[in-house]
Structure 1
Amino acid sequence: MPADTHTDKSAKGTRTQVLLAGACAGLISRFCIAPLDVLKIRLQLQYHSLAEPLAGPVSRTPIGVLRLARDIFRHEGITGFWKGNIPAEGLYLSYGATQFLAYRSANQVMEALEESAGLKLPGAAKSFVSGAAAGTAATTITYPLDLLRTRFAAQGTEKVYAGLIASLRDITRLEGPAGFFRGLPAGIAQIVPNMGLFFALYEGFKPLTADIHLPFGSGDAVAGISASILSKSAVFPLDTVRKRLQIQGPSRARYVSGSRMPAYERGVAGTLTAIVRKEGWRGLYRGLSVSLVKAAPASAVTMWTYERALHLLQSAEGQRQDGFE
């Protein structure tokens, strides 16, 4: 029994290996999906009633996404699709590392509790709790970078901040340290069920895709895509609330949403209620289609890169140890 436990834990990698593999997965994933992320944020920050005719160039149809992309390219250039990429790379790098490390640590804690209490929890329950804990830790630690990513992506042709250093200075001066954590409750309320569901579904789908024997290790990618689409759809309204809250503050009217974006001052529940009252239930799901399109490559690249990077790190460690023997 001890030998089996050791083998299982070794297969998951050391803390350093998990940290490096998670960071690598987050870094590569972010760069690949940056344009879709900008489109999603711009759609989430559109403010109008879906029961009324649209006043702007973006329609409710999928063509609206193409028009938005064309408008960004025309007025902001190709680099407009990577707005906020510097804080976003830092976000995905640190988030990926923290997430996978916290997930591994939470799993180890639960395994230790099982051994000491003589209990056996269902695998899905363990994955949900570990995923929720990992998501909460990663979201809280990296939230200021998430806020900066949103604010830079929400800048149109008018620059709200001259650069990354200027944004740090201006937010600190005008909003105080709390300004970096606007919308954090919505982020945590979203990430707990999102990551809990994601890891529970991923661990459930992974054996199924392994039995299909897909080429190039793509079973991990398919499992990641499926888990991400289902979990993200369930909590998307809270993501919209988080984005709306993140651009609150003295510069609210200067973002792409303009002066139409109202001030939300009653927290997560009040913001949800205000969006539904003014824009209808569909207002909570602006950008969902782009988000799901983004979820597929993001999760596929993240999980595929993580598994491959972890395998390479373990192989390199094994070769190094063999060299010393």
Structure 2
Amino acid sequence: MSEGVAHLKDVGSKTQVAVAGAVAGLVSRFIIAPLDVIKIRLQLQTHSLSDPLSLPTIRGGPIYSGTLGTLKSILREEGLTGLWKGNIPAEAMYLAYGSLQFSAYTYTSHLLDTIPGGYRLPDSANSFIAGAAGGAFATTVTYPLDLLRTRFAAQGRERVYRSIWASIQNIATQEGPTGFFRGLGAGVSQIVPYMGLFFTSYEGLKPVLATSNLPLPFGTSDALAGVIASVLSKTAVYPLDTTRKRLQVQGPTRALYVHRNIPAYKGIVRTLTQIWRSEGRRGLYRGLTVSLLKAAPASAVTMWTYERTMKGLLLLEERMVEG
């Protein structure tokens, strides 16, 4: 590793890591919220207008055609605020998720560093394990907020839930505690390889880009490394993300969302198989384009904000010590 380029695990105290992670999560969520709503709407759509053979079987709910078409439809039918549906639970989720993810990542990294030299794993393996552990922990803890985000984003002009509190009461009453964790298996199955691949790619790319003399399109090696790492890892695990979204809207309210023909699904493997058989490979990757459009800037903003917030916190600490 080149001089002057430090790994994430080597910078900041536990509190500073948690604060920087929370700030990074909040900022990135606010910026990509509209793209997130568009992605969820496309993922829940069982047919596409680009497939003429599927049109006769479509029943209920508007049908979206591509990212731009979905954007126009939401603006026309629901107004500008429709692009920020589910933003309150999403902001809460990103706030907690960012803090938990980076904290768990650095903790696991330091734990792996305590392994005796003869048994120590390569840096790339450590980054994968730490990233996977951080992602799995943060996903599990914040999953109810993720589920609420998806359900609110899936609502059209007709509201299924009138408020956050009403949604919590409704799910608790009609579906029980397990209702808040529908699709958790798919979420963890997705996030473990995703975050493992992301942090492995990020930690590997960052020093290479930092020492290169190439003009960086996103301004810094942190942002560009985040973009590349995000695109690679997101594409690899995307079918599991679609599976998670389909499972999250199961239950007694399934037929009330903007897509009223969402099939009944149960279990990760069964859902993957059912989508593959009825919609083909494209069904598993529906919304991938907007997902990458969302993931790339989100990861760039997250890593850029995290690194800058951490530098600010370290500078503040230094000045307080000097003062």
Aligned partner of 1:24 in structure 2 is 23
User: In 1, distance between residues paired with 2:148 and 2:294?
Assistant: 20
Aligned partner of 1:229 in structure 2 is 231
Q: What one-letter code is carried by the residue in structure 1 that aligns with 2:153?
A: A
Instruction: Give unpaired runs (5+ residues) of structure 2.
Output: 1-5
Shift of 1:11: 4.5
Q: What one-letter code is carried by the residue in structure 1 that aligns with 2:289?
A: S
Aligned partner of 1:121 in structure 2 is 121
User: In 2, distance between residues paired with 1:288 and 1:16?
Assistant: 35
Aligned partner of 1:262 in structure 2 is 263
Instruction: Name the CA shift for 1:222/1:177 in 2 (closer, same or farther; >3 Å).
Output: same
Alignment of 1:103-252 (within 5 A): 103-114=105-116, 118-212=118-212, 218-252=220-254
User: In 1, distance between residues paired with 2:9 and 2:189?
Assistant: 33
Moved more, 211-220 or 10-19: 211-220
User: In 1, distance between residues paired with 2:16 and 2:223?
Assistant: 20
Shift of 1:282: 1.1
SS where residue 113 of structure 1 aligns? coil
List per-residue Cα deviations over 1:255-293 (Å, max 9, x = no partner).
Answer: 1110x211112x000000010111111100000000001
Aligned partner of 1:320 in structure 2 is 320
Shift of 1:99: 0.3
User: In 1, distance between residues paired with 2:43 and 2:8?
Assistant: 41
Shift of 1:53: 3.9
Instruction: Name the CA shift for 1:10/1:22 in 2 (closer, same or farther; >3 Å).
Output: closer
| 8 Å contact kept, 1:45–1:243 | yes
User: In 1, distance between residues paired with 2:282 and 2:79?
Assistant: 30
TM-score normalised to structure 1 length: 0.91
Query: What's the % identity of the aligned pairs?
Result: 59
Q: What one-letter code is carried by the residue in structure 2 that aligns with 1:14?
A: S
User: In 2, distance between residues paired with 1:9 and 1:66?
Assistant: 36
Shift of 1:218: 1.4
Q: Going by fraction, where is helix more abundant, 1 or 2?
A: 1
Instruction: Name the CA shift for 1:282/1:9 in 2 (closer, same or farther; >3 Å).
Output: closer
Instruction: Name the CA shift for 1:58/1:145 in 2 (closer, same or farther; >3 Å).
Output: same
Instruction: Give unpaired runs (5+ residues) of structure 1.
Output: 1-6
| 8 Å contact kept, 2:21–2:306 | yes
SS where residue 52 of structure 1 aligns? helix
List per-residue Cα deviations over 1:115-166 (Å, max 9, x = no partner).
Answer: 5xx4332111000000000010000000000000000000001100001010
Instruction: Name the CA shift for 1:119/1:282 in 2 (closer, same or farther; >3 Å).
Output: same
Moved more, 307-316 or 209-218: 209-218
The two structures, once aligned, show a CA RMSD in angstroms of 1.8
User: In 2, distance between residues paired with 1:123 and 1:279?
Assistant: 40
Shift of 1:114: 3.5
User: In 2, distance between residues paired with 1:79 and 1:252?
Assistant: 23
SS where residue 114 of structure 2 aligns? helix
Q: What one-letter code is carried by the residue in structure 1 that aligns with 2:221?
A: G
| 8 Å contact kept, 2:23–2:309 | yes
User: In 2, distance between residues paired with 1:305 and 1:32?
Assistant: 12
User: In 2, distance between residues paired with 1:24 and 1:201?
Assistant: 22
Aligned partner of 2:3 in structure 1 is none
Shift of 1:57: 4.4
Aligned partner of 2:53 in structure 1 is 52
Structure 1 stretches (4+) deviating beyond 6 angstroms? 7-10
Shift of 1:249: 0.3
Aligned length: 309
User: In 1, distance between residues paired with 2:9 and 2:270?
Assistant: 47
| 8 Å contact kept, 2:155–2:257 | yes
User: In 2, distance between residues paired with 1:83 and 1:8?
Assistant: 36
Aligned match for 1:96, one of 79, 98, 107: 98
Shift of 1:10: 8.8
User: In 1, distance between residues paired with 2:294 and 2:174?
Assistant: 33
Alignment of 1:231-310 (within 5 A): 231-258=233-260, 260-265=261-266, 267-310=267-310
Aligned partner of 1:34 in structure 2 is 33
